[in-house]
Structure 1
Amino acid sequence: MAAALGTSPTIVEYFEGEDFYSCGYCKNESGSRSNGMWAHSMTVQDYQALIDRGWRRSGKYVYKPVMNQTCCPQYTIRCRPLHFQPSKSHKKVLKKMFKFLSKGEFSRGNNEEEPMDSQMDDAAVDDFVLKSKLDLQSDHRPLGEDYNEIIECEVKEKEESLEAKETKELNQSYDEKEKLGSGEPSSSVKVVPSAPKPGKGADLSKPPCRKAKDIRKERKRQKLILKSQTDKLEGFQIQHEPQPFPSEKPKLNQPKSIEDFIFDTLPEDAAHQLEFTRFLCSSPLEAESPPNGPDCGYGSFHQQYWLDGKIIAVGVIDILPYCVSSVYLYYDPDYSFLSLGVYSALREIAFTRQLHEKTSQLSYYYMGFYIHSCPKMRYKGQYRPSDLLCPETYVWVPIEQCLPALENSKYCRFNQDTKAVDEERVNELDRLRVLYKRTIMPYNIYKKRQKGPSDEAIVQQYADLVGQTCSERMLLFRS
C-alpha cells in the first residue's frame, strides 16, 4: 500500500545497538539490549511493516530488541480477533464490569495493580498458571488440545472430592453422636428405623435426598435428551420449511461472543454509566483518512474511559492498515478492582472486529511483546488464537507451536523450515534512501558526497533490521 498523498515521508535517525542496560522484567542490571531509532515522522504503512519485523514504538522512539543477546527476548504477538472467544477469566472480568455498572456491586478483594502495558489481572494469571502446570504434567500433549476442557475436568474432580470429604465428615459426626448417646462403640450400636419426631429428621413421606453429583448427572442427561429432540425438530423444519435467513436463526449452546458481554444493554436504573471517547493524540504516525479505510482513519488515538462523567482510564492505540496495535494503558488506581487492563484489551479486540466490517484487511490485534522467560508477562498468550513472530524469518507461527520450544530455550527460531530466510533482507544497499543536507538521495550518491570515515557498516545494520521495502521508502537522516 503506497503512502497516501499529502502525508510526510518517514524520517528516522538510527542508533546502533547500545551497551547492555538494566532489564525491567528480570531486573538484570546489564542484561537488556536493543537497537533503536528516533522517528521525526512516520507513515502508518511503514510502521505496519516495522512491527511485522519486531519493532515497537514508545512515543517517537522505535526500538527492536537484539533477540539472541538480550536477557528477556521479546516476541511480537498478535491476536486473531475474528476467531477470538473469551476465556473463563475474560468472561469473569466482563461480568464483573456489567455487575458493577448495573447494580453498583463489586468486590475489591486482593486485586494487585496492573502494569501499564500488561492488561493483566489475577484471574488471567491464575488461569495461565493452572494451564502451565497441566502442560508440565501432560508430558508431550498433542498441540491444539482443548485446555479449558481439561481445567473443567480438574474442577469437577475437586468438587467430587470435596463432596466425598463432606459426606465422610458427616458420617463421622453421626457415628460420634451415636457413641456419646449410647456410651458404647459405634460398631455395637444397632440402629432401628423409627418415625421422626415433629420438626426433626427426614420426612419418610418424601423421596430420599440425592447427592449433588447424581443431580448433576441427571441434569446433564436431560439436557442431552432435550438437545437430541431439538436437533431432530430443527432437521425436520429445515427439510420441510426452508428459512429465508438461516444465518439469523439462533443456535443452541452457541458460546457468547465478546460483543454479547461488552454491548449488553444496561437496565434503565443502572448504578453507573461507562462512556467512551476517541481522540487523535500526539504521535510520530501521520494521520490518514483514505476512502477505503475505517471511518476514524489511521493514526494514533486516545481511547478515554469515562465513568459517571469522571475519566478513569486512557488507552493509547495505533490504527494501522492491517491491525489495531495496543501501545499502553494508564488508569486511576482506585478502580483497579475492575481489572481495567483486561477489560480494555477485550474492548480493543471488539473494536478491531468492528473496524474489520468496514475495512476487510484490518483483521489483527497486536499486543506488543510476549515474554515467555518472565512468568508475569505470559498472560498475553491467553488471548487466543494468537501468533508469535519468528525473529529470523519474520513469519507468523501459532503460539501453541512455539511454547514447547520456549520451555527449553529463551531464544527460538519458530519457523520449522530450515531453508527459509528473511525475504526482506537487503541485497542492494545502494537503493536505500538517505536524507542528507535537506536533500533526498540514494545511498550510492550519498557515499560519494560523504566526508569523513565510512558509515556503511551502520547503514547496512539499519537496512537489515528495517528490511528492503522500508529502506527504500523511509528516509535515513545523516548529518
Structure 2
Amino acid sequence: MAGNNSYTIVEYFGGDDGYRCGYCKNDKGNFSHGMWSHSMTVQDYQDLIDRGWRRSGKYVYKPIMKKTCCPQYTIRCHALNFQPSKSHKKILKKMNKYISKGDLPAAQEDGEPMDSVCEDAGPREPTKVCQSDLKVAARADIKNEIPNCSAAEEVQKNSVDSTAGSSENSQNDSASVSEGGTDAKAPNPGLGADPSRPPSRKAKDLRKERRLQKDQKRQHGAGVSPPKPAHTNQPKTLEEFINESLENSSSDRLEVRLVRSNPPSPQFKASFDASYQVYKLYQMAIHKDPPDKPSESQFRRFLCDSPLEAEHSPDGPEMGYGSFHQQYWLDGRIVAVGVIDILPTCVSSVYLYYHPDFTSLSLGSYSALREIAFTRKLQKQSTKLCYYYLGFYVHSCPKMRYKGQYRPADLLCPESYTWVSVEQCIPLLNNSRYARLNQDPDAGKSHQSGVKVNMWRQEDNCERDWVGYT
C-alpha cells in the first residue's frame, strides 16, 4: 500500500505524570502514554488504534487504563449492519424538515437534550481544547436501567382493572337496554351506533380493499395467479432517511464536500478561512473560550495537521487514505466540519465542530450518521473498509455514553485486544470503571508479545532505532 520509502517516525514521551481529566475534572487523575509523530503510515495507525491509541493533531496517545481515573475504551460501529434508532430517525427527520421547509427547531425541542460536549478531555496537548476523540454528539445516556418490575406490574394491573371495569359497565348497560326497552340508561333516539350495521371503517382501508378485490377478479378472469402481498413493514435504510431531505428540497440546500487536509488540497486551502471562523465561533460558544484563545495556529495544530501520509491503493477508495475534512455547506456557507481519517479498515472520527446558530439541529449526531453512511459507501469500493470508529467510549462519563447507541458496536478489551459487543461490556462497566472485557482467560494470548509496527523513534541526537509499541 505504502511506498518503500514510507516510515512511521515518532518521539515517545512516556506516561508517568498525571494531568487534568476533562471527564471528571480530576487535576492529576489522567494518565496516558504519548508520542509525537513526525510521519505515520495509515496501516501503522490502523494497527495502533486497534491497540487503544488515538491521535490529536500529530500527538498520538494511549490511556493507561488501570491507572487513569476515567478509562477510555476504543469503540467501533459495524457500519454495514447499522440501523438508525428511534432517536436517530428523529434527528434525521428534524434536519429533513429544516432543509425542505426552513423550520429551525427551538433550542431544545420535545425535551431532547442538546449535543453533549466534554471540555479539556485530552492529554498534555498544546491546544488544551476538547480532545480529538470527543465526537460532539446528540443523545446522552444509554438506557441501561431495567424498569422497576413492581411499578411496571402495578401500572399494568391498573390498566387491566380499568379496562375490565369499562367492559363490565358496558355489558350492564346493554343488558338494561335489552330487558327494559325504555330504561333510563338507554341512549336517546338518534344517538349511538346502529347495532344492525357493521362497525365503521376508514375510507382509505375500504378503497384499498375494493381495489384489491377488483385486481383479483381481473387476474382470475385472465387466468393469472394473484400476486403475493408485498412486505410493507421493511424498515427504511439509513440512506433512505438521509436522501429524503434531498428529494423534498426544491434546491440543493445541503452539500457535503470531502476535502483532503494533509497534504492540503486546493479546495481545503480555498475554504480554510471560512472553516476556521466556524471553529472559532464554536469554541467560544460551546467551550466558552475567550476570543483570542482559538487562534489560527491552534486550529492548524489541532485539526488540520496530521502525521498520516496520503496513500492510494488499487483496491482502496478512490480518494485514497489519510486525513480529510467533511464540510457541511448549507445555502452556500459552511455550518459544520467533521474531521475524519480514512484508514484501511475503517473511517475514524476525529472531531466535529459546527456553527452555534445551528445547535438545535443536533449536528453532532447528524454528522455521525452521515459518516456511517459514508463508510458504507466506501465499503463498496474497498470491501475490508467496513467499520466506523467513534474514538473513545467513557462509561464513567454519562455525557460520553451516547457513542454506545450506534449499534451494533464493539469495545476493545484493554488486556486481550479483542473486540467485545457493547451489550456484554455494559454490565461489567456498571460494576467497575476498569474491566477486562473479554472474560476468556486465554483470549489474546497470541498478542501478548506486542504488535510490531514499522516505527522509528527519533532522539535528540538524531539517532534512530526501530521499536515496537504495545
Q: TM-score, normalised by structure 2?
A: 0.69
Deviation of 1:67 after TM superposition, in Å, equals 0.3
- Structure 2: gaps of 5 or more residues: 118-129, 170-182, 217-223, 262-304
Match of residue 175 from structure 1? none
Q: TM-score, normalised by structure 1?
A: 0.68
Aligned CA distance change for structure 1 residues 413 and 267 (closer, same or farther; 3 Å) = closer
Instruction: After TM superposition, list the pairs within 5 Å mapping 1:183-222 onto structure 2.
Output: 191=184, 193=186, 195=188, 203-204=191-192
Match of residue 310 from structure 2? 287
Match of residue 364 from structure 1? 387
SS state at 2:446 partner? coil
- Matched AA of 1:120: A
Match of residue 242 from structure 2? 262
Does structure 1 residue 252 correspond to structure 2 residue 232?
A: yes
Match of residue 133 from structure 1? 145
Q: In 1, Cα distance between the equivalents of 2:376 and 2:450?
A: 38
Q: In 2, Cα distance between the equivalents of 1:380 and 1:359?
A: 25
Does structure 1 residue 120 correspond to structure 2 residue 137?
A: yes
Instruction: After TM superposition, list the pairs within 5 Å mapping 1:171-182 onto structure 2.
Output: none
Match of residue 79 from structure 1? 77
Instruction: After TM superposition, list the pairs within 5 Å mapping 1:3-402 onto structure 2.
Output: 3-5=1-3, 8-110=6-108, 112-115=114-117, 117-121=134-138, 124-125=139-140, 128=142, 131-134=143-146, 137=148, 191=184, 193=186, 195=188, 203-204=191-192, 251-264=231-244, 266=246, 270=250, 273-281=253-261, 282-402=305-425
Q: In 1, Cα distance between the equivalents of 2:86 and 2:239?
A: 15
SS state at 1:288 partner? coil
Q: In 1, Cα distance between the equivalents of 2:381 and 2:398?
A: 37
CA contact (8 A) 2:8 2:456 kept: no
Aligned CA distance change for structure 1 residues 137 and 373 (closer, same or farther; 3 Å) = farther
CA contact (8 A) 1:273 1:307 kept: yes
- Matched AA of 2:235: P
Offset from partner CA, 1:76-99 (integer Å, 9 cap, x none): 000001110000000000011111
Deviation of 1:382 after TM superposition, in Å, equals 0.4
Aligned CA distance change for structure 1 residues 275 and 389 (closer, same or farther; 3 Å) = same
Deviation of 1:114 after TM superposition, in Å, equals 3.8
Structure with the largest fraction of helix: 1
Offset from partner CA, 1:108-150 (integer Å, 9 cap, x none): 14253542734432xx226x3xx2222x6479xxxxxxxxxxx
CA contact (8 A) 2:11 2:457 kept: no
CA contact (8 A) 1:306 1:312 kept: yes
**Aligned residue-pair number:** 367
Q: In 1, Cα distance between the equivalents of 2:114 and 2:46?
A: 34
Q: In 2, Cα distance between the equivalents of 1:78 and 1:420?
A: 19
- Matched AA of 2:137: M
Aligned CA distance change for structure 1 residues 260 and 267 (closer, same or farther; 3 Å) = closer
Q: In 2, Cα distance between the equivalents of 1:358 and 1:292?
A: 7
Aligned CA distance change for structure 1 residues 427 and 356 (closer, same or farther; 3 Å) = closer
Q: In 2, Cα distance between the equivalents of 1:278 and 1:72?
A: 34
Deviation of 1:53 after TM superposition, in Å, equals 0.2
SS state at 1:353 partner? helix
